[in-house]
Amino acid sequence: MSEGRIRIATASLAGCFGCHMSFLDIDERLFDLLAKVEFDRTPLTDIKHCGPCDIGLIEGGVCNAENVEVLRAFRRNCKILVALGACAVTGGLPAQRNHLDIGACLQEVYLTEPGLINGQIPNDPELPLPLDMVHPIHEVVKVDYFIPGCPPSADAIWKVLTDLIAGRTPRLGHGLIQYD
C-alpha cells in the first residue's frame, strides 16, 4: 500500500447501486474506515475520473461501451481491483437478457410494445452503445478479488476491506459468502 492514507475508488457499471447501499450499511464503521482511507472517484465524492488508487471496487457487470471504458480506467489506476456483488461477479440480473437478441429487445421495448406512439430506438451520440451480451467484469479486465452476493452484506464488504487494508488476503467464511 502507498504512503499515508489508502486511496479507494468505487463505481457502479450495469448495477443498481444496491452494493453501494450495502457498503454504506457498514454504518459507524465508516468513521474507522475514513481514519485510514481517502476516497477518489466514487458516487460518494462525485469525483468523475479515477486517479491512482490502492483499491478499486466495481459494482455491476459490463453492458455497454462506457462500462468498458470506466472498467479499463479503474484497472489502469487501481493496484487491487475487487468485483463487488453478483452483477460484477457473474453478470447478475442484467445478464438475464443474454439469451435474448439485443436487436429484438430494442425493437420490442421501443417500437412494437403495445401502447407506443411514434416509438423510436434511442440513437443519441451521447448514449453509450449497448453490448450484445452483459459480461462479468473479469471477462474484460483482470480482477484480483470477488465478493459475491446480491448485494454482499455490509459485514462481507467490511471484512474484505479490513483484510486488504491490513495487507491480508481477504477471506469470507460461513455466513459472509452468499449468492443471493
Q: Which of 37, 62, 68, 95 forms a contact with other proteins (CB under 8 A)?
A: 95
Residue 137 C-beta: closest distance to other proteins, Å? 10
Closer residue to other proteins, CB minimum distance, 36 or 138 = 138
Specify the residue for cell string 437478441: 101
Residue 58 C-beta: closest distance to other proteins, Å? 14
**Which range of residues in 28-36, 63-71, 116-124, 169-177 is near other proteins by CB under 8 A?**
169-177
Considering the rule CB under 8 A, would residue 148 count as an interface residue with other proteins?
A: yes
Closer residue to other proteins, CB minimum distance, 70 or 95 = 95
Residue 90 C-beta: closest distance to other proteins, Å? 5
Considering the rule CB under 8 A, would residue 142 count as an interface residue with other proteins?
A: no
Catalog residues that contact other proteins under the rule CB under 8 A.
83, 86, 89-93, 95-96, 98-100, 133, 136, 138-139, 143, 145-148, 150, 172, 174-175, 177-180
